[in-house]
């Protein structure tokens, strides 16, 4: 109980409420008298002992609800879809479900706690597992919503989510021998649905932890216009409102690439035509003829990080990538997390909203893996390097957070040597590149330009100065 009171008190202080040590002791004594069974009594005891000013009551009420009652029906999400119900929706009969649950009960004994929750065989344990894993992470260090995805992935790793996914894959193989491949796949899909619900519940937990500690963060941005609001603070409605502005930027970039000064297209002296023209003047070349250069059509290759740590930024940038591909004739686009895949055809076949939804939803690669820029660049060099020529501008979009994996900067260097230029757009301030798992220090020397792009205003500045 004391740990909970101290944690709640620290959250109050971080949000501007003054709470003394004596008041914390008073709160502890008050709860010892009232007990913890009745939420109303706990709220009243803490409000009476910790709040001194009437103006702080609204803040206290909001933080109390955030701390003790999770929004969005967290408990329901934590339980996930019960396996029995999920199987029944997929057409399994009661006899099949009963037999299957008996098989799973034997398999579950060898699985992790999270793996058993993925099967729907364990309930109500997720928040305890999160709390235990969170003890190894200081979620209080989150100061920016862009970090929510990063801490979510770290928390999932601490909980053993990767092991649970591997156990689910092994289970599918075991069931295929007993049920047949089709039925085993249906079970795997049901388990995947539950694991997806667990993943969302963990992200909601991290989001709530950020909201508790940074109550005024979004409030301070609410008054900003969309051009000044950081991508990480934008809602889905904000991104939809920005679509027309993204289209304008894409059209402007295309115009800049096609409207070159004429002197650049003057070309070389055409000796043959010049001598033929000089026949009119007795062989004196009064008029010079030039071999005009053909207008160079810009070629663009875009590599966009779609990991959870840059969720809002990548969704915004994917829209820009789609529109660039729609406006330019020579654009090839790729998304990456730990693996890399091409989205050129996906963007060509679907409208912007569906294409972005598919790319970000995992239609091309596993978007839930841990970021590994080095592996993505290495695979691009091995499989897609022929997309880069001396006329290609390569644009990399991402924060460069590599989870302490090998950076493989040589692969990026090989891209740069083949390309006309290489531009990197990073949503993180440059001051952060020297800390943690950022590999930007290894990548910057191989880029022609590295620009910090964290809102629409900074993106406009880059577009204004960029010539493809």
Residue 405 resides in a domain: yes
Average pLDDT, stretch 290-308?
A: 76
The predicted structure's pLDDT at residue 223: 44
| Co-location of 25 and 81 in the same domain | no
Average pLDDT, stretch 219-229?
A: 54
pLDDT tens profile 43-55: 888 888 988 887 7
The predicted structure's pLDDT at residue 116: 65
301 pLDDT tier (thresholds 50, 70, 90): very high
Residue 417 resides in a domain: yes
Put simply, whether the predicted model's pTM sits higher than 0.85 gets the answer: no
CA atoms within 13 A on the CB side of 284: 3
pLDDT tens profile 58-91: 778 867 776 675 444 444 444 444 677 777 777 7
Q: Which of 22, 45, 68 is the last residue in one of the domains?
A: 68
**CA nearest to 294, candidates 256, 324, 266, 275:** 266
Percent of the chain with pLDDT over 70: 72
DSSP assignment letter at 336? E
Report the sign of the C-alpha dihedral through residues 282, 287, 291, 294, in that order.
Answer: negative
Residues contacting residue 116 through CB under 8 Å, at least 6 positions apart: 108, 122
Report the sign of the C-alpha dihedral through residues 344, 349, 351, 357, in that order.
Answer: negative
Residue 230 resides in a domain: no
Residue 281 resides in a domain: yes
Q: Which of 48, 68, 88 is the last residue in one of the domains?
A: 68
Is 90 exceeded by the pLDDT of residue 255? no
Domain extent for 61: 2-68
Residue 30 resides in a domain: yes
Q: Which domain CATH number covers 351?
A: 3.40.50.410
Taken as a whole, the chain contains a residue count of 468
| Co-location of 283 and 316 in the same domain | no
pLDDT tens profile 101-140: 676 666 665 666 666 666 654 444 566 666 655 555 677 6
Helix (H) or strand (E) holding 425: strand 421-426
**CA nearest to 256, candidates 324, 177, 162, 167:** 324
| Co-location of 173 and 101 in the same domain | yes
| Co-location of 305 and 442 in the same domain | yes
The predicted structure's pLDDT at residue 125: 58
| Co-location of 272 and 305 in the same domain | no
pLDDT tens profile 270-292: 788 888 877 777 777 767 777 76
Pairing of strands 392-397, 421-426: parallel
Residue 228 resides in a domain: no
Please state, in angstroms and rounded to a whole number, the distance separating the CA atoms of residues 215 and 65. Answer: 12
The predicted structure's pLDDT at residue 80: 42
Domain count, the chain: 4
Residue 250 resides in a domain: yes
**CA nearest to 421, candidates 441, 444, 400, 449:** 449
The predicted structure's pLDDT at residue 108: 61
Is 90 exceeded by the pLDDT of residue 144? no
Report the sign of the C-alpha dihedral through residues 87, 91, 92, 93, in that order.
Answer: positive
Report the sign of the C-alpha dihedral through residues 453, 456, 459, 461, in that order.
Answer: negative
Cα-flanking dihedrals φ and ψ of residue 269, to 5°?
Answer: -65, 130
Q: Which of 68, 86, 120 is the last residue in one of the domains?
A: 68
| Co-location of 57 and 91 in the same domain | no
| Co-location of 287 and 434 in the same domain | no
The predicted structure's pLDDT at residue 109: 56
| Co-location of 317 and 177 in the same domain | no
């Amino acid at each position: 109980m004391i740990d909970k009171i101290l944690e709640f008190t620290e959250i109050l202080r971080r949000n501007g409420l003054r709470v003394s040590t004596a008041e914390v002791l008073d709160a502890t004594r008050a709860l010892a008298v009232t007990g913890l069974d009745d939420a109303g009594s706990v709220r009243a005891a803490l409000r009476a002992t910790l709040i001194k000013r009437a103006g702080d009551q609204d803040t206290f009420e909001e933080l109390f609800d955030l701390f003790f009652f999770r929004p969005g029906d967290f408990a329901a999400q934590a339980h996930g879809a019960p396996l029995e119900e999920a199987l029944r929706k997929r057409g399994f009969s009661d006899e099949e479900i009963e037999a299957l649950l008996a098989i799973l009960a034997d398999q579950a004994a060898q699985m992790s706690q999270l793996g058993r929750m993925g099967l729907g065989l364990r309930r109500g344990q997720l928040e305890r597992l999160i709390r235990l894993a969170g003890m190894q992470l200081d979620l209080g260090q989150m100061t920016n919503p862009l970090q929510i995805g990063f801490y979510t992935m770290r928390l999932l790793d601490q909980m053993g989510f990767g092991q649970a996914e591997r156990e689910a894959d092994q289970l599918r193989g075991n069931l295929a021998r007993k049920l047949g491949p089709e039925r085993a796949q249906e079970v795997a899909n049901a388990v995947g649905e539950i694991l997806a619900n667990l993943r969302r519940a963990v992200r909601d937990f991290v989001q709530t932890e950020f909201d508790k500690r940074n109550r005024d963060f979004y409030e301070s941005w609410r008054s900003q216009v969309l051009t000044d609001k950081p991508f990480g603070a934008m809602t889905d409605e904000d991104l939809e409102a920005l679509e027309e502005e993204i289209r304008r930027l894409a059209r402007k970039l295309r115009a800049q690439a096609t409207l070159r000064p004429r002197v650049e297209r003057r070309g070389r002296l055409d000796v043959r035509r010049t001598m033929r023209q000089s026949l009119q003047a007795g062989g004196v070349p009064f008029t010079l003829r030039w071999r005009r250069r053909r207008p160079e059509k810009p070629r663009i290759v875009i590599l966009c990080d779609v990991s959870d740590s840059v969720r809002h930024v990548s969704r915004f940038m994917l829209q820009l990538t789609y529109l660039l591909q729609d406006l330019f004739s020579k654009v090839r686009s790729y998304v990456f997390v730990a693996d890399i895949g091409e989205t050129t055809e996906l963007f060509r076949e679907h409208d912007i909203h569906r294409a972005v939804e598919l790319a970000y939803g995992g239609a091309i690669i596993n978007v839930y893996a841990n970021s590994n820029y080095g592996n993505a660049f290495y695979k691009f060099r091995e499989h897609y390097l022929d997309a880069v020529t001396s006329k290609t501008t390569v644009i990399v979009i991402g924060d460069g957070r590599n989870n302490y994996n090998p950076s493989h900067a040589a692969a990026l260097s090989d891209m740069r040597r083949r390309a006309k230029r290489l531009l990197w757009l990073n949503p993180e301030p440059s001051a952060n590149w020297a800390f943690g798992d950022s590999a930007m220090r290894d990548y910057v020397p191989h880029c022609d330009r590295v620009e910090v792009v964290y809102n629409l205003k900074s993106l406009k500045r880059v577009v204004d100065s960029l010539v493809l």
